Each structure stands twice: as C-alpha cells, then as structure tokens.
C-alpha cells in the first residue's frame, strides 16, 4: 500500500441547459464538493459530512459517493474499505448536480488512489451508478461534466463527447424550495408524448448550442437556451417561474431556463448581477440565493 489518502474536488454542473434534456451538461467554476478519502482496514465505507450537507444521508448505500465506494470494493475485490469526509460545497436538491459531483469525486479519487486503469467511459458509468442510487436513474449528464469539466454531450451507454466550454457568464438563482425525491418528482411531471413540432424545435436549438460551443460564441450559446419539451412541465413545480424567466430576459439575459431537475434557474448574459437580482425579486415571497459562475474546463482534480 503506497498512498493511503487523497483529497479531491469535483465541480457542480448544469444538466439539460435548455434544449438538451438528458444530453447536455456543463461544469461550473468554483462551486463544488471536496472529498477526502482514506483507505481503512475494515471492509466498509464510513462517511462523515460537513458544509451544505443538510438532508444528505451518511448511510453509504444511500449516499452517491458511498455507493461508488461500495461498488469499487466489489469491482476491484478489495480486502479493505474507505473513510470519506465529504465537504459539500454544492447545495443539494437545487438542480446543480450535487449528488453527481460527490459521485464523480469518489470515482475519480478511487481511480487515483488505487492507480486503476479505467477508461473515461467506465469512470462515467461508475459515477453514474453512484448517482443513480440517490437520483433514481443513472444519467451521465451531471457526472461526466463533474469528472471532466467543460460542455458534454452524453451519448448512449455512457459514451460522451466533451468540449472545452467558451467563456460564458452564467447566473444561477436557487430558490428556497425543497422537494422530497426531487429528481423523481421532476421526471414524473414529464409527458410520455410530445408534439413533433416541439421536438424539432429542440433539435434545432440543441444543434445551435453545440455549434455555439464549437464556435466559442457565448451569445449564440445564450440564445440557444430554449426548450419546448421539458421546461413547460417542470415549470409547474417552480412558483413564479414565468415571472422569473421574464425578469431575466427583460434584464438582458440571452437565455434562461431550469437548471437540471430544478428548482434553480440559470441565465446567460453580461450584467449577471443585475439579471440575478431581477430574477430574485420576481421570486416574490420565496427567498433565494444567487451564484455567478463561468464554466469549468478542468473537472475533478486532486487538491
């Protein structure tokens, strides 16, 4: 046993980004989880929490990082376990890939700590299965940007295409709303059938968004944030959604939509503080926090 301990950071992320439901993910700067993982002689996973850890379970079978570590013990047939300290920088339940970031951090940490030869696709799968234990289904749209940074297109079977994201200014407004089983709830609001014409519009905007990434064009990126498929349904779980979105656009945002499963909204623009404050005001009686960010092109890394 050479290295016994590792400390890693994995950033928050926004999934969907408007038109790319279950397809797009973007890593955020600074906001992130820090995990300190130590090998322990007992073949078990022990979790301790600090930071924004309200409502996060320490039972490793119910914690996204814990599940990753338990799976890793099985996968690598380890005869030892792990002690994990999770310092939550990402508020859970806000649509910012909080459980995904913890899972990504745990997967990345294991790879480094055990010096494993795991390809990127497998690493995404390991992290996604950790997130699934918490979120209900294994999607890679949060864990892959948390692992590798940048803008990610999720393909089938945990395959993905990653691009460096352009210097886009984002403001995220996180309302003080809490939902039990939020990810499941957010999915339950979606219809099975949608209008073909709305699907075609989303295909157009999603294509435009990938083009904006390739061209490094933040304005085009912002103007591609348009979603006719998911947003109208998930908006129902966010009081004042219409007013908040309108306030963002009126304040000069190029685009605005729901971050992942919500209830946070994100907007892209220039004068991010003004946009954020206008959004915050439109939430009326619901208090909220603002977070201003750029994309993160680094992903999970050692500290």
Footprint on this chain of a copy of itself (rule: CB under 8 A): 19-24, 153-156, 161, 163, 190-196, 198-200, 202-204, 206-211, 213-215, 220, 229
Minimum separation from the CB atom of position 297 to a copy of itself (A): 16
**CA torsion, ordered 133, 139, 141, 147, to nearest 10 deg:** 50
Between 33 and 231, name the residue whose CB sits nearer to a copy of itself: 231
Of these residues, 38, 183, 192, 243, which one is catalytic? 183
* Choice between 118 and 229, CB closer to a copy of itself: 229
Is 131 one of the catalytic residues?
yes
Least Å distance between CB 230 and a copy of itself?
Answer: 8
**What are the C-alpha distances in Å from 38 to residues 1, 10, 78?**
12, 17, 14
Nearer to a copy of itself, 3 or 155 (CB): 155
Q: How far is the CB of 249 from a copy of itself (least distance, A)?
A: 16
Residue 7 parent element (H or E)? strand 5-15
Reply yes or no on whether 61 is catalytic.
no
Q: Are 12 and 146 in contact (CB under 8 A)?
A: yes
- From the centroid of its chain, how far is CA 191? 23
Q: Which helix (H) or strand (E) holds 160?
A: strand 160-163
Place of tokens 């219809």: 191
CA distance 243 to 85: 40
Nearer to a copy of itself, 105 or 165 (CB): 165
Return d(Cα 24, Cα 54) in angstroms, integer. Answer: 28
Three-class SS state of 170: strand
Q: Which of 131, 180, 231, 281 is catalytic?
A: 131
Least distance in angstroms from the C-beta of 143 to a copy of itself: 16
d(CA 135, CA 141): 12
Q: Which residues are catalytic?
A: 131, 183
């Amino acid at each position: 046993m050479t290295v016994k301990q590792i400390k890693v950071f994995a950033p928050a992320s926004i999934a969907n980004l408007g038109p790319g439901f279950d397809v797009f993910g973007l890593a955020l700067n600074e906001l992130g989880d820090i995990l300190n993982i130590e090998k322990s002689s007992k073949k078990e996973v022990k979790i301790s929490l600090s930071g924004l850890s309200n409502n996060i379970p320490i039972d490793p079978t119910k914690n996204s990082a814990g599940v990753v570590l338990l799976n890793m013990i099985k996968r690598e047939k380890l005869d030892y376990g792990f002690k994990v300290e999770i310092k939550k920088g990402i508020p859970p339940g806000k649509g910012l890939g909080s459980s995904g970031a913890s899972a990504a951090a745990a997967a990345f940490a294991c790879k480094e700590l055990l010096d494993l030869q795991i390809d990127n696709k497998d690493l995404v799968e390991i992290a996604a299965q950790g997130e699934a234990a918490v979120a209900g289904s294994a999607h890679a749209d949060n864990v892959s940007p948390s692992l590798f940074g940048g803008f990610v297109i999720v393909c089938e079977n945990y395959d993905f295409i990653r691009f460096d994201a352009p210097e886009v200014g984002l403001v995220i407004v996180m309302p003080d709303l809490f939902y039990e089983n939020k990810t499941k709830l957010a999915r339950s609001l979606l219809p099975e059938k949608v209008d073909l014409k709305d699907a075609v519009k989303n295909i157009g905007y999603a294509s435009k968004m990938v083009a904006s990434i390739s061209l490094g064009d933040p304005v085009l990126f912002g103007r591609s944030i348009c979603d006719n498929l998911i947003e109208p349904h998930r908006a129902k779980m966010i009081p004042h959604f219409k007013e908040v979105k309108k306030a963002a656009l009126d304040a000069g945002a190029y685009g605005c939509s729901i971050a992942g499963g919500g209830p946070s909204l994100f907007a892209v623009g220039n004068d991010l503080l003004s946009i954020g404050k206008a959004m915050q005001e439109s939430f009326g009686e619901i208090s909220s926090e603002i977070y201003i960010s750029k994309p993160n092109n680094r992903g999970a890394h050692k500290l």
